[in-house]
A and B are shown apart, each in its own frame.
Chain A
Amino acid sequence: MNRTKGDEEEYWNSSKFKAFTFDDEDDELSQLKESKRAVNSLRDFVDDDDDDDDLERVSWSGEPVGRRTRPGSFQSLSDALSDTPAKSYAPELGRPKGEYRDYSNDWSPSDTVRRLRKGKVCSLERFRSLQDKLQLLEEAVSMHDGNVITAVLIFLKRTLSKEILFRELEVRQVALRHLIHFLKEIGDQKLLLDLFRFLDRTEELALTHYREHLNIQDPEKRKEFLKTCIGLPFSAEDSAHIQDHYTLLERQIIIEANDRHLESAGQTEIFRKHPRKASILNMPLVTTLFYSCFYHYTEAEGTFSSPVNLKKTFKIPEKQYVLTALAARAKLRAWHDVDALFTTKNWLGYTKKRAPIGFHRVVEILHKNSAPVQILQEYVNLVEDVDTKLNLATKFRCHDVVIDTCRDLKDRQQLLAYRSKVDKGSAEEEKIDAVLSSSQIRWKN
């Protein structure tokens, strides 16, 4: 046994530890004959006493001493030694035989905790009374070492009913946190849920239950599991999110099955031209919407896979819808669809273009999808903020827009600068020259 110097001093100086051994041949004993004599003289006081519990029997090296006779039956021992033939077999009323402690390990809670921090082997079994257990826990918490706190909690979990354990931890926040983390780490879902139920932490209860879905791979099973999550005590907003999660997966399963069928049948053009790269299962809503706008754009509201249906079911805001639809149609280079997204008819029957997301955003997406310059130009023109418009037009080389805007701004310098960037002898160069030489414009610079 390895002990630090400090521990040893304490051990020997503590009155709790009295040592004797029947083995007189032990050399180390000879050094402490005095104590041995003192101890042996106490033997008579020791029998059947309530103080028995405090008396520990160890050898000098601290190892438990193998007993040849039981301490409580000194009567029989002295009988045996005195060679009395009479032996008593009648049952004696006394302490349970198992209760005589014949091994060392009587560290105090603070010593025990110190040993635990060092990673030493330490049996906690002797902390049997609730008071002792709680004292041990308190020592562990004041030591601050989470590993020790968890070690004590492992012991408490094993030796206390969960009701008692929960009740005591309810008012001990640090220990409670450690228990919760420990249960999470070892995956004791059941006890964790019981704990949250006991603590009336309804939201955490719901979230812990919900978290399980991440471990279910099969889509049908996951869907069924999500259904069970719907009635859980989430907050009002979260309940709606859970409901949406379930509904989304439900739809995705239907769409996936249907589309896989269509794809393999090979009759549908869109799937032939753009084969699917991945399944739609477990994708976020926006991704699902993109997919729907890509593969099922023209479908009526009635089908599960139509974009409009998704929009309605999940209350997707207009902004998000337009953005996603634009991205999908632009990818397919379906410029007419893009047009239609932004065209509205006013009450006089005139068409007008508007966008809930800002036309600069539209232009960027179109450019990303290599839209032809004419299309790009049209939308750049619609950008409201003049500086942004000019920047984008210059960046994407929409000559007409640049020229027209510079003219409107009466900014000659800007136009001249742009002229140096265009191709020599091109139509745009001509146009610039024409504008520059126009006498009708009162340039500001």
Chain B
Amino acid sequence: MRYIANLVNADKMAGRTRKYKVIFSPQKFYACEMVLEEEGIYGDVSCDEWAFSLLPLDVDLLSMELPEFFRDYFLEGDQCWINTVAQALHLLSTLYGPFPNCYGIGRCAKMSHELWRKLEEEEDGETKGRRPEIGHVFLLDRDVDFVTALCSQVVYEGLVDDTFRVKCGSVDFGPEVTSSDKSLKVLLNAEDKVFNEIRNEHFSNVFGFLSQKARNLQAQYDRRRGMDIKQMKNFVSQELKGLKQEHRLLSLHIGACESIMKKKTKQDFQELIKTEHALLEGFSIRESTNYIEEHIDRQVSPIESLRLMCLLSITENGLIPKDYRSLKTQYLQSYGPEHLLTFSNLRRAGLLTEQAPGDTLTAMESKVSKLVTDKAAGKITDAFSSLAKRSNFRAISKKLNLIPRVDGEYDLKVPRDMAYVFSGAYVPLSCRIIEQVLERQSWQGLDEVVRLLNCSELAFTDMTKEDKASSESLRLILVVFLGGCTFSEISALRFLGREKGYRFIFLTTAVTNSVRLMEAMSEVKA
């Protein structure tokens, strides 16, 4: 806003008269209006709103394209986007009928749901009597499962995102991928037939699949050798275009795979994954900590080092004070002292914390208790309990069987559970929660898990008696990720869908991955 104000005021000073229009998307905030007024340009600009809330990135993926949601809500506690989410849900419910079953977990999920219900009440009558097309809605806060978002991805789509950075469903492939001197922007969705077949596959399968496809393609091309004129004509008019298209896509994806392989070998990806798995499973913690320390010392990558520290912190309920101090000091020495601010952010968001010795907790307690008044008692205990939040990952992991016990090799070609998205080492927590709740059609039997997730009072069910719901619609589930969702989670749930006969539709505030999460928390401008 200030930037715009400066432009306008500069024009005014220079005596230039212009017309200005500011278009706010998805909506204008009161704070923006305030700044316009303060800067004296309120009357000079006309404001429009472009209420663009949902971008279909694919046949089953809707994005609100709000990457700032994560930082605004989970770091700053600003609820400015909750209305936007409620509006999006409202839009979907007017289009696809009422949602008979609604589940959710997390504070943001609860608030969004409440506001959405208020919206529905205010503008009722639009959905009454309609046949529901989507049987279930599931709302999830990102902070219910940070671990999954922090892991390195190994399904093809996730790997492409981690390596090349997918933006709005498309990716920029550089010359090393396109095998030419030009870069190419490629749309990655179900329309790309080649991509669609490999997107959810574990990377180890992809290369083999692509080479097979390349051989098939070559065989088809070769058919033309034995053709007569008529057949050739037919071939050229009907098939060639398709083959050429397929060929183009194939070579692109093969190029991408090669590029990924090269980068990963250079990074010593094997060692990295080994460390991640150790952290997830709870083995060799000391070695993993040493690995992270070395990673920092070598100045490998500020974002990667941070991500590993956060993974360690969350899986271990915080770093032991000695490690926290030492790793922090080394990080500041390797990547810059100003990252002191980054560490403060991570601590506030609960991503990188120190194990609290008993004393620290009581000191906090006495400080906070001074502030308690009758009226606000509930609110203070809320705030305080978030200070004392522990991660409890290991307990949750055990209860939900997130680490599969494998006899022999885990077959990645024919996956048997959602853990395949992480090479068989770990079932994404978020996906497991969804699976369990859908099976039970409630939170029954999951009380302990909910408590361990620090979500007591924040897990809810909202069922409206809906006789009109067809069995078809009951198999369709809308999953809403508040704060972002990863391609790994999408792949895992697509798998679950195939297994259980569900179809999932994903609505996310933005597509995310570990890099974006860390960048959002980093205070330092690159």
By a beta-carbon cutoff of 8 Å, the part of chain A in contact with chain B is 4, 6, 114, 116-117, 119, 143-151, 154, 170-174, 177-178, 180-182, 184-187, 200, 203, 207, 210-211, 213-214, 237-238, 241-242, 244-245, 248, 282-287, 314, 316-317, 319-320, 323, 357, 361
Contacts and interface: CB of A to CB of B under 8 A. Distances in A.
Contact of B338 (A119, A170, A171, A245): A245
B29 interface: yes
A238 B332 CA distance: 11
16 contacts: A4-B123, A117-B83, A119-B28, A145-B83, A171-B371, A173-B382, A186-B31, A214-B525, A238-B340, A244-B332, A245-B337, A282-B336, A283-B336, A285-B333, A286-B297, A286-B334
Contacts, number: 144
B4 interface: no
Contact of B337 (A151, A241, A317): A241
B463 interface: no
Q: Which 7 pairs, one residue from A and one from B, show the smallest C-beta to C-beta distance?
A: A146-B79, A146-B80, A177-B77, A151-B30, A245-B337, A171-B376, A144-B111
A203 B343 CA distance: 13
A284 B333 contact: yes
Contact of A181 (B72, B328, B334, B383): B72
B320 interface: no
Interface of B: 2, 27-31, 34-35, 49, 72, 76-83, 111-112, 114-115, 118, 122-123, 294, 297-299, 325, 328-330, 332-338, 340-341, 344, 367, 371-373, 375-376, 379-380, 382-383, 523-525
B375 A214 contact: no
A220 to B, nearest CB: 17
A151 B299 CA distance: 44
Given A4-B122, A173-B380, A178 B77 contact: yes
B375 A171 contact: yes
A144 B80 CA distance: 8
A314 B337 CA distance: 12
Contacts of B334: 284-286
Contacts of B376: 171-173
B81 A146 contact: yes
Given A146-B78, A214-B525, A207 B344 contact: yes
A319 B337 contact: no
Nearest to B367: A200
A314 B333 contact: yes
Given A144-B111, A171-B371, A214-B524, A248 B29 contact: no
Given A213-B338, A248-B337, A284-B334, A174 B35 contact: no
A245 B329 CA distance: 12
Nearest to B343: A238
Nearest to A316: B333
Contact of A119 (B27, B31, B333): B27
Contacts of A114: 122
Nearest to B375: A171
A147 B29 contact: yes
A186 B35 contact: yes
B82 A146 contact: yes
A211 B523 contact: yes
A407 B81 CA distance: 68
B17 to A, nearest CB: 27
A150 B371 CA distance: 23
A242 B340 contact: yes
Given A210-B340, A213-B338, 20 more contacts: A6-B122, A143-B118, A146-B80, A146-B83, A147-B30, A150-B31, A170-B371, A173-B383, A174-B379, A178-B78, A185-B31, A186-B35, A214-B338, A241-B329, A241-B332, A241-B340, A244-B332, A286-B299, A286-B334, A317-B330
**Most B CB atoms within 10 A — which of A177, A200, A286, A316?**
A286
Nearest to A288: B333
A203 to B, nearest CB: 8
Contacts of A245: 337-338, 340
Contacts of B340: 207, 210, 238, 241-242, 245
Nearest to B124: A6
A152 B338 CA distance: 34
Contact of A180 (B76, B114, B523, B525): B76
Contacts of B325: 237
B76 A177 contact: yes
Nearest to A234: B340
B341 A207 contact: yes
Nearest to B523: A211
A209 to B, nearest CB: 11
A274 B78 CA distance: 50
Given A154-B34, A286-B334, A314-B333, A147 B380 contact: no
A172 B379 contact: yes
Contacts of A361: 294
A4 B8 CA distance: 36
Nearest to A187: B2
Nearest to A171: B376
Contacts of B333: 284-286, 314, 316, 320
A252 to B, nearest CB: 11
A207 B122 CA distance: 44
A154 B523 contact: no
Contact of B31 (A154, A172, A180, A282): A154
Nearest to A158: B34
Nearest to B76: A181
A114 B112 CA distance: 15
Contacts of B79: 144-146, 149, 174, 178
Contact of B380 (A154, A171, A283): A171
Contacts of B111: 144
